Amino acid sequence: MAKKTFNIVTLPGDGIGPDIVKQAVKVINRIGEIYGYDFKITEKRMGGIAIDMDGCSLPQDTIDAALASDAVLLGAVGGPKWDNLPNGDRPEKGLLGIRGALKLYANLRPAVLYPQLQHTSPLKAEIIGDGLDILVVRELTGGMYFGEKANSPKFNPENKDCWASDLEKYSVFEIERILKTGFEAAQKRNHKLCCVHKANVLESSRLWRAVFDRVKKNYPDVETSEMYVDNCAMQLVRNPRQFDVIVTSNIFGDILTDEASQVAGSIGMLASASLGAGTLGLYEPIHGSAPDIAGKNLANPLATILSVPMMFRYSLGLMKEADAIDKAVMDVLNAGYRTGDIFNKDLDDASKKVGTEEMGDLVVKALK
């Protein structure tokens, strides 16, 4: 019998991106060996490396390959080298572009504090309790990031009359579909959802609240609440365990997910999924490119490795294989192995402090 084939495009990107994607690919290939799948992995360029090699942050060849794939795995993009290019292109423009090209409107970002790593959270033990597991569902293709942009005809920051604007605009359709994603996620977790907005000030948020009030009636099994974004930011550090699923707009989600990641400890442990109407998705760690440690065997690859189970569940339908990867990572952590970002000299065995390559090899070895 022929092996089932899955086509995966990898976008290693910049900085530590190639280092960490390499480890995730080792895990994918090992799963293929154990369970009898053929993973055809194609590497493409995006971000700063694409600017250098192809003249733009998102080549058409990369878009075409991603659209033809079953899933896309991203490393990281960006770095100071590309901050002030004369043509205005930036690595981050490629990231926005690939999300738009693949029509990915929902970003699912878990903020999980693993029991083995509770010391990595900056919050007190009595606040964190026995761990943390929050899912933030962020709208990804609307709002001011994609809204109409304008500025003074002669843009000059020295001129006191100079101005600039970004339009925050949402349609009922956009709000409905992200709320549906959030509610369906809540039904698979603890049946609890909080809609975050700023309806006391913003017209766009008033629409969010009105649509939320209507849509929630379709999910009577889900306990709902709503919260202003500034209060939510405060509550995430005051009492994060009150949250299960948070659903919110693009800009609010961008900010709150970074805060939640810090509450949960190291960003080197947190994965994310960007999804659309179909099964094609983009999977990536939430951290940046960290060019200062690129190629030095220092980066934590676990966030990228943990992006693979999300890919298996949401895009490939490989549930038991996803569980196997999650278990392998937990087994490695339970055995005491740590990369530098999650290592505590007072708690951990110094002999079990490992680098990027070693951590990837440990997870591969733990797979069963």
Residue from 35, 54, 103, 145 carrying the catalytic annotation: 145
Residue from 258, 326, 348, 361 carrying the catalytic annotation: 258
158 pLDDT higher than 70: yes
| Sheet containing strand 132-139, strands side by side | 37-43, 4-13, 71-76, 281-285, 271-275, 106-113, 132-139, 245-248, 192-197, 223-228
Residue 14 annotated to the active site? no
pTM: 0.90
266 pLDDT higher than 80: no
273 pLDDT higher than 90: yes
Mean of the per-residue pLDDT values of the chain? 95
Residue from 26, 93, 198, 216 carrying the catalytic annotation: 198
- For 170-199, b/e burial (b = at least 16 CB within 10 A) is beeebbebbbbbbbebbeeeeeebbbbbbb
pLDDT tens digits along 344-367: 999 999 999 999 999 999 999 999
The predicted structure's pLDDT at residue 368: 86
Residue 230 annotated to the active site? yes
pLDDT tens digits along 302-350: 999 999 999 999 999 999 999 999 999 999 999 999 999 999 999 999 9
Q: Which of 92-96, 129-133, 152-156, 304-308 has the highest mean pLDDT?
A: 304-308
Residue 114 annotated to the active site? no
- Pairing state between β 132-139 and 245-248: parallel
Q: Which class does domain 1-102+280-368 fall in? A: alpha beta
Average pLDDT over residues 240-247: 97
Residue 145 annotated to the active site? yes
Question: For the domain with range 106-276, which CATH number is right: 3.40.50.720, 3.40.718.10, 3.40.50.10440, 3.40.50.2000?
Answer: 3.40.718.10
Q: How many helices (H) and strands (E) does the chain have?
A: 12, 12
Domain with CATH 3.40.718.10 in the chain: 1-102+280-368, 106-276
Q: What percent of the chain has pLDDT over 90?
A: 85
Select from 279, 282, 259 the least CA-distant residue to 271. 282
pLDDT tens digits along 49-99: 999 999 999 999 999 999 999 999 999 999 999 988 888 899 999 998 999
Using only C-alpha atoms, the chain has a radius of gyration, in whole angstroms, of: 21
Residue from 254, 326, 348, 361 carrying the catalytic annotation: 254
Average pLDDT over residues 285-304: 96
Residue from 52, 230, 323, 349 carrying the catalytic annotation: 230
The predicted structure's pLDDT at residue 267: 83
The predicted structure's pLDDT at residue 38: 97
Asked if 307 and 268 count as a contact pair (C-beta separation under 8 A), the reply is: no
Residue 160 annotated to the active site? no
The predicted structure's pLDDT at residue 1: 64
